Amino acid sequence: MIFTNLIQGNLNTQFLGRHIQYYPFTNSTNDDIWELIDNNEAKNGTIVITDDQRKGKGRRNNQWLSQPGKNLTFTFLLNPKINTEKLGLISLMVGIGICKGIQQFNNLNCKLKWPNDILLNNKKIGGILIESKEINGNIYLGIGIGINVNSDISQFPIDIQKSSISLIMKTRQALQREPLLAFILNNIESEYLYQFEDIIENWLQYCNHKNTEVKFHYGEKKIKGKFIGINELGYAQLKIDGKIETFSGGELIL
């Protein structure tokens, strides 16, 4: 069970997490946030969190698996006051906030894989899925986040075991999820309100693969190149056959 009072008791945010909707179980917290908006029950910074997400979504229509009662699976609503061309920076900003929050909470140093994976020891510990809708002329983002906190990864399918990790595998003791979430939210809001202009620089400090050779899936194309950074809109920049090419989306394979 998630105790929302323990989350809010550790918050120092202005708006993020000030309204929390907790569900013991649900199919998808991303779906839930849009339902709250449709019912006029959500505002900027509202969070939906669950102990048991049964049909969690990942990128490229993949499923996000999470053991009941072990992890953080939540979605928050953001009505960003930025140019729409810069919306791609939001997932980078959220990743920075997650890494900083985890580091402050238990001194573990996570890294980032473009555009929205959280890594620990070169394995995936979390991910970000952002959905957007235009409502009454305003852009709203449903920012879904899954983080493996106390999961027994050995219970997952073999392919996921090889590429995934949880915080407890490093700490060797169970972590209290509520204050961890508060630390993460505090840092996400701080990045959004006070350090948004520094996202590119800040993200590169956490990048796990700068100046390394990577494989890149862009639509049906499979590309190899050196990841050299991101541009001002957060797009990936790869050096391929001596030429720098820019990609707004795709899947990067380390």
Beta bridge partners of 129: 144
Residue the block writes with tokens 């391929």: 240
CA distances from 240 to 212, 214, 231, 254 (A): 12, 10, 16, 16
- Please indicate whether residue 31 or residue 68 has the higher confidence score (pLDDT): 31
Flag whether pLDDT at 148 surpasses 60.
Answer: yes
Residue the block writes with tokens 């707004």: 248
Give the pTM: 0.94
How would you classify the pairing of strands 72-78 and 47-50?
antiparallel
The answer to whether the CB of 170 falls within 8 A of the CB of 108 is: yes
Q: Other C-beta atoms within 10 Å of 102: how many? A: 25
Which residues fall within 8 angstroms of residue 97, CB to CB, at 6 or more apart? 184, 185, 187, 188, 189, 190, 191, 192
DSSP class per residue in 211-223: TEEEEEEETTEEE
Flag whether pLDDT at 58 surpasses 70.
Answer: no
Which tens digit of pLDDT belongs to each residue from 70-96? Answer: 999 999 999 998 888 999 999 999 999
The arithmetic mean of pLDDT across residues 49-61, rounded, is: 75
Which tens digit of pLDDT belongs to each residue from 182-240? Answer: 999 999 999 999 999 999 999 999 999 999 999 988 888 899 999 999 999 999 999 99
Which tens digit of pLDDT belongs to each residue from 101-119? Answer: 999 999 999 999 999 999 9
Please tell me the distance from the alpha carbon of residue 243 to that of residue 254, in angstroms, as a whole number: 20
> Tell me, what's the pLDDT at 67?
77
Mean pLDDT, the chain, integer: 92
> Tell me, what's the pLDDT at 63?
61
Flag whether pLDDT at 131 surpasses 90.
Answer: yes
Helix (H) or strand (E) holding 112: strand 111-113
CA distances from 214 to 115, 217, 224, 251 (A): 14, 10, 6, 10
